[in-house]
Amino acid sequence: MASKKTAQKMLRLAPVLDLNEATALHEKLLALKGSAVAIDASAVERIGALCVQVLIAGAKNWQEQQLSFTFAKVSDAFVKTTQLIGVDIDPLMAKEI
């Protein structure tokens, strides 16, 4: 797989992902284009719908490019919020192998 060749990059999410953070997150994701990404959401305490939108758009984008886009670590708050707003991140969770 192509993704295997490029080194996987880690993106650590800020604790508070609100309106102010959405643009920053968007830019960070754009900067990582072309390489496999693992998202570390373990520090997330609060995430707004805008940032979820950005992450989902990122996931789609990576999927189209056939690169891996996973959530390596997630916090409880992150999981609960995504569940609450009906965004299924299970397929994107890093599989323990």
Partner 1 sequence: MDMNEIKEIFFQECEEQLAELESGLLKLNDGDRDPETVNAVFRAVHSIKGGAGAFGLDDLVSFAHVFETTLDCVRSNRLEPNQDVLKVMLKSADVLADLTNAARDGGSVDQARSRQLIKELEALANGELPQASAAEPAPKAAAPAPIAAPPVNEEGFQPVAFSFEDFEADEPALIEATCYEIVFRPKSELYAKGNDATLLLRDLSRLGEMSIHCDMDGMPPLDRMNPEAAYFSWKISLTTDKGEDAIRSVFEFAEWDCDLDIALAGGSAVDASEELPMQPVPFDLSLLDEAPAGSADEEEQIAIRDRDAAVSAAETASNVLQMAQSSARVPAEAQKNATAAASAAAQQAASAATPTIRVDLDRVDRLINLVGELVINQAMLSQSVIENDTNGTSSINMGLEELQQLTREIQDSVMAIRAQPVKPVFQRMSRIVREIADMTGKSVRLVTEGENTEVDKTVIDKLAEPLTHMIRNAVDHGLETPEKRLAAGKSAEGTVRLTAKHRSGRIVIELADDGAGINREKVRQKAIDNDLIAADANLSDEEIDNLIFHAGFSTADKISDISGRGVGMDVVKRSIQALGGRINISSKPGQGSVFTMSLPLTLAVLDGMVVTVANQTLVVPLTAIVETLQPEASAIHSFGATQRLISIRNSFCPLVDVGRILNFRATQANPVEGVALLVESEGGGQRALMVDAIQGQRQVVIKSLEANYTHVPGIAAATILGDGRVALILDVDAIVAASRGQSLKPEMSLAAAG
**Beta sheet of 9-12, edge-to-edge order:** 9-12, 37-41, 69-74
Contact string (CB under 8 A) for partner 1, positions 67-86, x = contact: ---------xx--xx-xxxx
- Residue 38 binds partner 1, judged by CB under 8 A: no
Do 6 and 33 touch, CB atoms closer than 8 A?
Answer: no
DSSP H helical ranges for the chain: 2-5, 19-31, 49-64, 76-84
> Which one of residues 2, 10, 31, 57 is an interface residue with partner 1 (CB under 8 A)?
57
- Residue 61 binds partner 1, judged by CB under 8 A: yes
Do 50 and 82 touch, CB atoms closer than 8 A?
Answer: no
Query: Rounded to whole angstroms, how far apart are CA atoms 51 and 22?
Result: 5
- Residue 12 binds partner 1, judged by CB under 8 A: no
Q: Which is nearer to partner 1, 50 or 72 (CB)?
A: 50
Q: Interface residues with partner 1 (CB under 8 A)?
A: 15-16, 18-20, 22-23, 25-26, 29-30, 33, 45-50, 52-54, 56-58, 60-61, 64, 76-77, 80-81, 83-88
